[in-house]
Structure 1
Amino acid sequence: MSATATSDTGANRKEALKGLHSDVFSANMHPFWATTKDVEHDEVAQLMSPQKAVPWVWKYSDIGPLLERAAELITMADSDRRSLVLVNPGLAPRRASVTTMYTAYRFNGVDEIMPPHKHSASACRFGLLGGGNFTSVEGENVVFGPGDMILTPNDAWHNFGSIGNEGALNLSVLDFPLVETLHALEFHHHYTEMENGKEVEKKEQSARYPVDYSKLVYGQGGMMPRFVDHHRAGGFASPQVVYRWEAMETLLDAHKDHDGDPHDGIIIDYVNPRTGGPVFETINYYIQMLRPGEKTAPKRETANLLLAPFKGKGHSIVDGERFDWEEFDTLAVPGGCWVEHVNPSQTEPVILFGATDSPTQKKLHLYKSWGRNQAGDLLRLA
């Protein structure tokens, strides 16, 4: 290769550049240079404008009827899943609600139990309707209702459905898009247990823990039994797989008159009781309460957020655009967006269930956040 480059001007150079770019693309490469901003190949500008998630609200008024129709048409004989994944219009057709996470809604008819499976993506399940939501995680059988959160960690065998002669609705938030991007996605459906010295395939997990084990071992907070194994499903996630709404509601009520944070209102994180950190290494979940009439100050963070109103209704201003929401909707707030939340009710609080990929960003030293005060001054928050 010659170390001397020659240049040309005018039409000859334009044609030469066109030919160069054509040859680069046909060789499965991409030119990383900028010529001038009025030409087709300003590659720096293109580098800074890839496919991106956009702020969006999915309405439960759309989700609910679609799930009802699916319940009539899709049986467990057809598929062991009946879920709707929320796809961000800015990322379609990729299955992602924001770049690193997706939310899926699942409805189970009366006494439907799917077979066990496991995957390398981490997930939660948050109860919305019905007291008979069912999940078994590594042999801990859990019946849960509205507001209860269940973890299904990376590589944990689990199955789910409904019991008690009623249908049940829940939503899940997974780091599936992140794991898929890292080419680390795995699924396993062949569940077996040892019986009489032989490996036997099973359609349901045998119970290996007492009822309400998570509450019994981890439910007090600040105290942890030393005589039990706290390393389930590889030991990389919270060993507590059930977080009951009753405990969260009590804590919210105890702090309803607290000053809170001007940019967040009242936020309570779900934590790993062993570490005090996030429940997963990649994503975490939280509850956010907006008191009656509360409006949060503008905040911007690099983390991607998914928010599901659990109680109440209101609106958010995301990068200057208003998004109205009500119970069981989902709001996507992509990283880098300015956001404010508003509870218009003067009598009732708003409760939001939230998910964030900040644990991943913090481990990579990429997380930052900013806010504005009442005067509009820019503040560095983290």
Structure 2
Amino acid sequence: MDTNLPPASSQEPDANREAALRGLYDDLARHNLFPFWATSKDTDHDEIRQLMATRKAVPHLWSFADDIEPILRRSAELVSTADSDRRSVILVNPGLAPQRASVSTMYTAYRLNDPNEIMPPHKHTPSAIRFGLTGKGNFTGVEGEDIVFGPGDMVLTPIDTWHNHGTVGDEPAINLSVLDLPLVETLNAVSFDHHYVEDDAVVKKQSARFPDDYSHRIYGTGGMRPRFVNHIRGAGHSSPMYVYRWEAMQALLDRHADWDGDPHEAIMVEYVDPTTGGPVFKTITFFAQMLRPGERTLPLRQTASLLVAPFRGSGHSIVDGKRLDWREFDTMAVPGGSWCEHVNGSATEPAILFVASDEPAQKAFSLYRKWGRAADGEVSRLA
């Protein structure tokens, strides 16, 4: 007789318990329930691991020249305004597919409009911007302000604000959009409205009610706020300045080209609401980030997710150890929680990145965190 075996009476309860647990887990799954407890023996039911194993965005780069632009050109040939009110290409993160999301809370879309092609007005609960890439005739009418914009200009189309897009002039134009639609979708708050009416009639283009230089005339001088206009525009939930011209941003970056800057972010300028000094939207914010010739930022990690679109120059970024080589007009996904550093590939010319971030949404819930790694590898909390 093997005296090392435990008595049969002590083995039976163990076996019975394991069988009962398996039955319990099967019943939970069958009834669409999830167990939130940890067991020390059953690795098949490591509840913490399973709870954290949701789909996550991954670092990724979309190439404008190699992939996006050729597809946009083909779409313009095959899809007309008679077929659809919009013709955009959405960037889908491989880690989140098939969800229409470039990172968990935002997506970028590219749009090409043929000459003199204006789409009908609409409005929606997601907040959005348009950023000009090519052509001088990009057009967005926002709440009665007709805005024609070119490369580097950023145009707001805020939550629940009527707007329509297109191109004016005889050349096609391309712009990119950034929307918080994945976030709004998660909150079950997405809605669209295409029934735009003026004088009891449905029209295909908004009538202008403001001068086309309204945003610049009222808000183009920093530190001074006119008291003779109503600053509540559209639904009143965003910056009342609807267009941010690249000329002003470029001048500001140039003035600080010899500034020390931040070791983790180089020279970074945020687009803000001129009436509050806060971000242009309550959910997402935008930056222009300049890397001086040969500049390399120190690694930065933050809970905010980023969409980074190189606007000038070329270089590479290292996101969670993955090298992503970028050129003008590409888009790069930097998921929240990723370590990221940028490198300007030119020793003589600056590189400029256009950056979107869900930082305001995170700050609204006190969730925003930020860490930096020094040259010696030491990590410190920055925010």
TM-score, shorter chain, exceeding 0.5: yes
Matched, 1:185 2:190: yes
Check 1:10–1:37 CA distance in 2 against 1; reply closer, same or farther (3 A cut): closer
State the identity %.
63
Range 37-46 or range 213-222, more displaced: 37-46
2:79 to 74, 80, 87: 74
Matched, 1:32 2:36: yes
Partner of 1:4: none
TM superposition shift of 1:241: 0.3
Tell me, in whole angstroms, the C-alpha distance in 2 between the residues paired with 1:343 and 1:331.
15
Partner of 2:63: 59
Partner of 2:285: 284
Tell me, in whole angstroms, the C-alpha distance in 2 between the residues paired with 1:238 and 1:353.
19
2:106 to 101, 104, 118: 101
Partner of 1:377: 378
Secondary structure of residue in 2 paired with 1:233: coil
Q: After the TM superposition, which residues 160-199 of structure 1 pair with which residues of structure 2 at under 5 Å, given as runs?
A: 160-194=165-199, 199=200
Matched, 1:229 2:230: yes
Check 1:37–1:267 CA distance in 2 against 1; reply closer, same or farther (3 A cut): farther
Tell me, in whole angstroms, the C-alpha distance in 1 between the residues paired with 2:206 and 2:13.
73
Tell me, in whole angstroms, the C-alpha distance in 2 between the residues paired with 1:216 and 1:50.
48
Secondary structure of residue in 2 paired with 1:19: helix
Partner of 2:5: none
Unaligned runs of 5+ in 1: 1-6
Tell me, in whole angstroms, the C-alpha distance in 2 between the residues paired with 1:108 and 1:312.
25
Partner of 2:164: 159
TM superposition shift of 1:74: 0.5
TM superposition shift of 1:255: 0.4
Matched, 1:307 2:308: yes
Partner of 1:3: none
Tell me, in whole angstroms, the C-alpha distance in 1 between the residues paired with 2:188 and 2:355.
26
TM superposition shift of 1:12: 3.4
Matched, 1:42 2:46: yes
TM superposition shift of 1:46: 1.0
Tell me, in whole angstroms, the C-alpha distance in 2 between the residues paired with 1:202 and 1:88.
36
Tell me, in whole angstroms, the C-alpha distance in 2 between the residues paired with 1:147 and 1:84.
19
Partner of 1:359: 360
Residue identity matched to 2:146: N
TM-score scaled to structure 2, two decimals?
A: 0.95
Partner of 2:3: none
TM superposition shift of 1:20: 1.3
TM superposition shift of 1:253: 0.4
Bigger radius of gyration, 1 or 2? Answer: 2
Tell me, in whole angstroms, the C-alpha distance in 1 between the residues paired with 2:333 and 2:197.
38
TM superposition shift of 1:17: 2.1
Matched, 1:261 2:265: no
Tell me, in whole angstroms, the C-alpha distance in 2 between the residues paired with 1:9 and 1:41.
20
TM superposition shift of 1:32: 1.1
Tell me, in whole angstroms, the C-alpha distance in 1 between the residues paired with 2:213 and 2:287.
21
1:129 to 134, 148, 152: 134
Tell me, in whole angstroms, the C-alpha distance in 2 between the residues paired with 1:73 and 1:360.
38
Tell me, in whole angstroms, the C-alpha distance in 2 between the residues paired with 1:89 and 1:51.
10
Secondary structure of residue in 1 paired with 2:43: coil
Check 1:11–1:66 CA distance in 2 against 1; reply closer, same or farther (3 A cut): farther
Tell me, in whole angstroms, the C-alpha distance in 2 between the residues paired with 1:378 and 1:358.
21
Residue identity matched to 2:29: F
Partner of 1:344: 345
TM-score scaled to structure 1, two decimals?
A: 0.95
Matched, 1:248 2:252: no
Partner of 2:6: none
TM superposition shift of 1:9: 4.5
2:17 to 3, 13, 17: 13
Unaligned runs of 5+ in 2: 1-10
Residue identity matched to 2:128: A
Tell me, in whole angstroms, the C-alpha distance in 1 between the residues paired with 2:265 and 2:42.
43
Tell me, in whole angstroms, the C-alpha distance in 1 between the residues paired with 2:269 and 2:13.
63
Tell me, in whole angstroms, the C-alpha distance in 1 between the residues paired with 2:21 and 2:234.
55
Check 1:169–1:40 CA distance in 2 against 1; reply closer, same or farther (3 A cut): same
TM superposition shift of 1:39: 2.4
Residue identity matched to 1:373: A
TM superposition shift of 1:191: 0.2
Give a deviation string over 1:353-377, Cα, whole Å, max 9, x none. Answer: 0000000111111101000111111
Tell me, in whole angstroms, the C-alpha distance in 2 between the residues paired with 1:177 and 1:36.
37
Check 1:16–1:219 CA distance in 2 against 1; reply closer, same or farther (3 A cut): same
Range 317-326 or range 12-21, more displaced: 12-21
Residue identity matched to 1:101: M
Partner of 1:146: 151
Tell me, in whole angstroms, the C-alpha distance in 2 between the residues paired with 1:108 and 1:344.
32
Tell me, in whole angstroms, the C-alpha distance in 2 between the residues paired with 1:19 and 1:75.
57
Give a deviation string over 1:325-370, Cα, whole Å, max 9, x none. Answer: 1111100000100100000211010010000000011111110100
Give a deviation string over 1:219-251, Cα, whole Å, max 9, x none. Answer: 011111101111012211000000000000100
Range 77-86 or range 7-16, more displaced: 7-16
How many residues were matched structurally? Answer: 372
